[in-house]
Structure 1
Amino acid sequence: MEYFRQRYHEYLNENGPVEIAGFTWENADVFEKMTTGLNGEKGDYEATFTVFVQDQIQLAKERAREFLEETQCLDRFRALSARKQNGQVLPFVGAGMSIASGYRPWGAFLLSLLGDAPHIRADVEAMLGRSEYEEAAQLVHDTLQSHVLAEEIANQLGRHRPKTAGPVCLLPRLFPNEVLTTNFDYVLTHVYHRAELPFAYEFCGMRLREARQRIGNDPHCLLRLHGEADASEGRVLTRNEYDAAYNGGVTLTNILGALIGTRSLLFMGASLQSDRTHAALRDIRAENADAPVRHYAFLPLPADNERAARRAFLAEAEIHPIYYPADDHDQYIEDLLLTLMGGGLDD
């Protein structure tokens, strides 16, 4: 699995370079060249890499079991794993999954735009502290003007930024069909393209209304709930844009309900605060109170005195948290994804 290639080279290079007659080569390069056959076959280099990958996956499973037991989420993860093996899990990718690729969380992104508008910084920070993301975005929009905000979004989040890193790069191996995201950036587009599994379609913003009908024959699609960085049309960011997008009887509730069906959402890199996604899922749960579909979320473990309230809030939307320690998000999410990829925990 190419995800581990660089890590494999670092492992081979741990003991320093090979030096002969004043020339220096990295151990990984020497090993690869010395074990490559005349016809280009990699031999022992690739065989050793395969073993290395298997060892990494086994270590990930062991770490996952340990922290899932500590957070009392082991049985919940097993339920998620069973649904994943049955093809009943739809990934929902939030901004946290793009941080390893060099992108800011959404609140930090808005604050980064205020170099020319320092007079509203305190107000924006206060709104973000109250989880009023739409209102904060509206204030930034109105202060900077729409074309300036569009330029900043395109500059910082546009398709021209090709870097991808972190556990988001594992998603093509796990989820070859629909992927939901609220992100404007193109990390998922680049990741799936490099995995030679490019999306057949990308539905953005208001075009999601037609997605359910069009993806029946080719479900490998990226569903961008809020639009994309390089196009203002269909973007859903500010309070006014939300109100414009969801009107005339079309709501995020019925769009999400149609896309999800009977599948479970798996939230990754999403803060899951009091926002429209939570509200939409809360409404869907109310409409299906007799047999609601369970959803899951990989989330950092809250403080002990906050855990009960957090669980109650998520339960309103039928979201069930799978907690990991908060000290290393990327490592623990990688462990969880590799465990899912490996068929779940070994009993």
Structure 2
Amino acid sequence: MNNNYLERLFIEELNSEGEEIVIRGSVFLRDQILSKLEPETYELAFQDWKNQRKQQAIDTANQILEIADNKQRFHKLKEIFRRNKLTPFIGAGLSMPSGFPSWKGFLYEVQKESGADFPIFEEHIHKGEYEEAAQLLFDVDEGHLQEHLENQFGKSPNLGELQGIICRLPEFFKETIITTNYDDLLKKIYADQDIHFDQELCGIDAEEFKKLFGEGYRILLKLHGTFISKNKRVLTQDDYQRHYSEHNILRTCVMESLFSQSLLFLGCSLDKDRTLQCMAEIVEERGKDNLPKHYAFLSCENLSDKERTTRRKVLQKSNIFPIWYDGDHDESIEALLELLNDGES
């Protein structure tokens, strides 16, 4: 299967236009016939399809900009992007289309056979206390939690099976990437596009991050570590309290360095988030006027105007400014990234 994500989508659409072509018992797919017999026509058709898809995405993005005060905020974000001073911060929402669980979904899956007290576990979940829920699962059966972590986030799907806007990130961002995800999707996707990171760092021992980031090295920073070992990741309440403490590497060497240029949060819920809390503390200490603004593409579906305003005020404490969308998660993010990358607007 072709590993180019857009071409895979094009082929799927091309082959869905009618029934399979059968000649003397042999099945032929439309893309195979066109690419073999008329390669120039195939390439022209693919380019035309890409152009139409891009224009549709830009039209969608322009509609999104009519929501709330998105328009002026997006124009400011685009200026930062054009100066190559924008670093993407990738959350679980971008891995989910490829079969990886959300943080909440993962915890529920572990709980099923853990033996943990379900009413206590569910109370933590309903309050958004995911760290506490993870701690409960860890305390009851550490081995069970670690096994699920390795099974869920250690799986390695074929590139041809990956889905969603995460597959296109190398088109938009070619330098440092920051993620709280435990999986290896980003490394795999970038390597497939022949973009290799100079350094892959784990947040809890990334003492050199500030220096390398400042010197322009291409870094994959896995802020909360990996699925491999409890000593290399941030997952439970004890982990967060230990690694986000005032004098720890994650706080002093990494989190404060994230304010050296603007971040764009993609696939992050930013709701009762320890990273968000830490950023708010840094903003309070150093003053919001002395720090760059960060941005986030966030869903406002099912939010009232009042609820949206309340969320915006909370995010601003961390110097994060939302650009809201109310449609499909992946389609909306892809549309906004297309408009961000479009040189004509």
Alignment TM-score, normalising by the size of structure 1? 0.89
Residues 116-172 of structure 1: CA distance to partner in whole angstroms, max 9, x if unpaired? 235522222211221212111111100112x33222211110154445220011111
Contact 1:19 1:25 in 2 (8 A): yes
Q: Is the alpha carbon distance of 1:123 and 1:200 closer, same or farther for their aligned partners in structure 2, counting shifts above 3 Å?
A: same
Counterpart amino acid of residue 320 in structure 1: F
CA distance in 2, matches of 1:3, 1:339: 19
Contact 1:16 1:26 in 2 (8 A): no
The corresponding residue for 1:331 is: 331
Contact 2:86 2:262 in 1 (8 A): yes
Structure 1 unaligned regions, length at least 5: 37-42
CA distance in 2, matches of 1:329, 1:248: 35
Counterpart amino acid of residue 201 in structure 2: F
State the superposition RMSD in angstroms.
Answer: 2.2
The corresponding residue for 2:46 is: 49
1:152 aligns to 2:138 (yes or no): no
After TM superposition, give the deviation of residue 68 of structure 1 in Å.
1.8
After TM superposition, give the deviation of residue 329 of structure 1 in Å.
0.8
The corresponding residue for 1:297 is: 296
The corresponding residue for 2:202 is: 204
Contact 2:206 2:250 in 1 (8 A): no
Query: Could you say what secondary structure the match of 1:266 adopts?
Result: strand
Query: Could you say what secondary structure the match of 1:92 adopts?
Result: strand
Contact 1:253 1:283 in 2 (8 A): no
1:260 aligns to 2:261 (yes or no): no
1:319 aligns to 2:325 (yes or no): no
After TM superposition, give the deviation of residue 229 of structure 1 in Å.
0.8
Contact 2:246 2:252 in 1 (8 A): no
After TM superposition, give the deviation of residue 289 of structure 1 in Å.
3.2
After TM superposition, give the deviation of residue 78 of structure 1 in Å.
1.6
Query: Could you say what secondary structure the match of 1:243 adopts?
Result: helix
Q: Is the alpha carbon distance of 1:2 and 1:260 closer, same or farther for their aligned partners in structure 2, counting shifts above 3 Å?
A: same
Contact 2:5 2:167 in 1 (8 A): yes
Q: Is the alpha carbon distance of 1:290 and 1:71 closer, same or farther for their aligned partners in structure 2, counting shifts above 3 Å?
A: closer
CA distance in 2, matches of 1:308, 1:258: 27
1:97-246 counterparts in 2 under 5 A?
97-145=94-142, 147-158=143-154, 160-162=156-158, 163-215=161-213, 219-246=217-244
After TM superposition, give the deviation of residue 256 of structure 1 in Å.
3.9
Contact 2:90 2:266 in 1 (8 A): yes
1:274 aligns to 2:272 (yes or no): yes
Residues 178-234 of structure 1: CA distance to partner in whole angstroms, max 9, x if unpaired? 111111111212211222213232111322222223455662211011110123322
CA distance in 1, matches of 2:219, 2:260: 18
Contact 1:296 1:322 in 2 (8 A): yes
Q: Is the alpha carbon distance of 1:214 and 1:263 closer, same or farther for their aligned partners in structure 2, counting shifts above 3 Å?
A: closer
CA distance in 1, matches of 2:305, 2:288: 29
The corresponding residue for 2:7 is: 5
CA distance in 2, matches of 1:96, 1:153: 17
Query: Could you say what secondary structure the match of 1:229 adopts?
Result: coil
Contact 1:71 1:324 in 2 (8 A): no
CA distance in 2, matches of 1:251, 1:107: 27
After TM superposition, give the deviation of residue 250 of structure 1 in Å.
2.5
Overall identity of the aligned pairs, in %: 33
1:16 aligns to 2:19 (yes or no): yes
Contact 1:141 1:149 in 2 (8 A): yes
Residues 1-24 of structure 1: CA distance to partner in whole angstroms, max 9, x if unpaired? 932112211332313333445544
